[in-house]
């Protein structure tokens, strides 16, 4: 019993059985990570290249740790210090790396669809670690896995995603993953940061933060992606924080206790205050821990498949 896909390019390529298989495999790896010796020889002799064309801390470290815990050989590549800055194309870059006999590529790229494009031109398996404002599948998987760990199941849970939905790859992947698992999803944020056809994804749309928080079981607070915003979408960060920032006062005033999540990096004092991020209702550090187990599961399950001829 394996995954129905050779690559992990986006949540839209996975069915519910795939997601459950990844979760069950991650359960096993999470128990491995809590042992004194945290390594397993599952991917010995498999070489994985981490190719990052965009800045990353958590995702790159998390993938690298996952690969090393599985005993894979790891090659790290940062585009900023490579021949890409001399004008080399994406396919040339990856083919040169594959010529060194790499089995799998984990790639983050600023352009949407870069992983899909690459999967059609090279033989190695591709794992998308985020492509532009399109998808970030492993983040959505670890978020849903964290909700499952907290509540026992994702089905029937009410999850609100708050913030910059328009520029967020995390929001799209999360919506697809949560809907697949039977959760109810709402998005909340200023009208200017809502994609035009968001309703077509089958989610509720709310512009009042308090209403959204009173509706939900889980609030996933996204950061404002200033690096992707080419025009001003709201007057100032201060005004955004006044309307959509989550602080302890708001949290304590709600009808019930909700769980707070954040995919990171956190802009403390903007979308979420420090006392909320560090409160007992927050599972932000659990998400980081689960990220390693989920990525181990994805790499292990993909590596178990026969290579394309």
Residue 157 annotated in ligand binding: no
Residue 223 annotated in ligand binding: yes
Residue 132 annotated in ligand binding: no
CA–CA gap between residue 142 and residue 251 (Å, rounded)? 24
Cβ–Cβ under 8 Å, residues 197 and 178: no
Residue 109 annotated in ligand binding: no
CA–CA gap between residue 256 and residue 249 (Å, rounded)? 13
Residue 169 annotated in ligand binding: yes
CA–CA gap between residue 217 and residue 115 (Å, rounded)? 33
Residue 110 annotated in ligand binding: no
Residue 69 annotated in ligand binding: no
Q: Residue 149, Cβ neighbours under 10 Å: how many?
A: 18
Cβ–Cβ under 8 Å, residues 160 and 207: no
CA–CA gap between residue 4 and residue 74 (Å, rounded)? 25
Sheet with 259-261, side-by-side order of all strands: 204-206, 184-188, 158-162, 218-221, 259-261
User: What angle (nearest 5°) sits at the alpha carbon of residue 279, between those of residues 276 and 281?
Assistant: 95
Provide the annotated binding site: 58-59, 86, 108, 136, 139, 169, 223, 264-265
Q: Which residues are annotated as a binding site for carbamoyl phosphate?
A: 58-59, 108, 136, 139, 264-265
Q: Which residues are documented as binding site for L-aspartate?
A: 86, 169, 223
């Amino acid at each position: 019993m394996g995954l129905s896909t050779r690559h992990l390019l986006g949540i839209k390529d996975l069915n519910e059985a795939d997601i459950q298989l990844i979760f069950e495999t991650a359960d096993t790896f999470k128990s491995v990570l809590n042992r004194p010796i945290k390594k397993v020889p599952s991917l010995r002799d498999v070489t994985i290249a981490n190719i990052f064309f965009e800045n990353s801390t958590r995702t790159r470290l998390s993938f690298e740790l996952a690969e090393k815990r599985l005993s894979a050989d790891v090659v790290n590549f940062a585009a900023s210090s490579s021949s890409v800055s001399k004008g080399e194309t994406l396919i040339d870059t990856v083919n040169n790396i594959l010529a060194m006999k790499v089995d799998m590529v984990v790639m983050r790229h600023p352009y949407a669809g870069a992983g899909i494009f690459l999967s059609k031109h090279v033989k190695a398996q591709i794992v998308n670690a985020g492509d532009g404002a399109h998808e970030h599948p492993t983040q959505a998987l670890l978020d849903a896995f964290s909700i499952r760990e907290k509540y026992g199941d994702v089905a029937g849970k009410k999850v609100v995603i708050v913030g910059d939905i328009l520029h967020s790859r995390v929001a799209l992947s999360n919506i697809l993953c949560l809907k697949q698992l039977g959760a109810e999803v709402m998005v909340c944020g200023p009208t200017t940061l809502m994609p035009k056809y968001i309703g077509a994804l089958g989610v509720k749309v709310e512009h009042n933060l308090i209403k959204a928080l009173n509706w939900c079981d889980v609030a996933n607070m996204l950061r404002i992606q200033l690096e992707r915003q080419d025009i001003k979408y709201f007057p100032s960060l201060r005004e955004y924080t006044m309307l959509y920032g989550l602080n302890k006062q708001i949290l304590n005033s709600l009808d019930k206790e909700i769980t707070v999540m954040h995919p990171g990096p956190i802009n403390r004092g903007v979308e979420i205050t420090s006392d909320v991020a560090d409160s007992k209702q927050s599972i932000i550090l659990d998400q980081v821990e689960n990220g390693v187990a989920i990525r181990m599961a994805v790499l292990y399950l993909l590596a178990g498949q026969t290579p394309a001829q």
